[in-house]
Amino acid sequence: MKNNYYNEIKNKLIDNEVYKKVKDYSKNRNDLSTYYEVGKLLYEAGNKYGEGIIKKYSERLVIEVGKKYNKRTLFRMRQFYNMIEIQKVSPVATQLTWSHYCELLPLKDINEINYYVKITIEQCHKIYQLQKKV
């Protein structure tokens, strides 16, 4: 009888952990897709209205949507779009987190970026491990 309770508890906890992983994966995929699309719009707006548009948009977004959408974050979204689309970095977006990509954004060499993407995926690097390598 004890084992039945234990097994039921264990199964519920395992199910919950699996659900959280699936949910995290889905959330990460949605975040990256959104940030890519926003980056594309910022890239296009910058071409049309000038580079100051990020600052203007960030001032409004911080008030209307939240503090995390500041100038630096919007700039990173545009860099992210540029890295994936313009520089043609391998688009394995769902396998890395936004934090991973933020670590790679300062890199300019496409081969170097692709190298770090590849080893991060192959070796399942956490963000702090990638930081040490970059």
- The string of pLDDT tens digits covering residues 81-116 is 988 886 676 656 567 888 999 999 999 888 898 899
CA pseudo-torsion sign 111, 132, 68, 51: negative
Q: pLDDT of 49-88, one tens digit each?
A: 898 999 999 999 999 998 999 999 999 999 999 888 866 7
Long-range contacts of 93-96 (CB under 8 A, 24+ apart): 93/29, 93/32, 93/33, 93/36, 94/25, 94/28, 94/29, 94/32, 95/121, 96/120, 96/121
What is d(CA 107, CA 110) in angstroms, rounded to the nearest whole number?
Answer: 8
DSSP 51: T
pTM of the model: 0.76
Tell me the domain boundaries of the chain. 1-86, 90-134
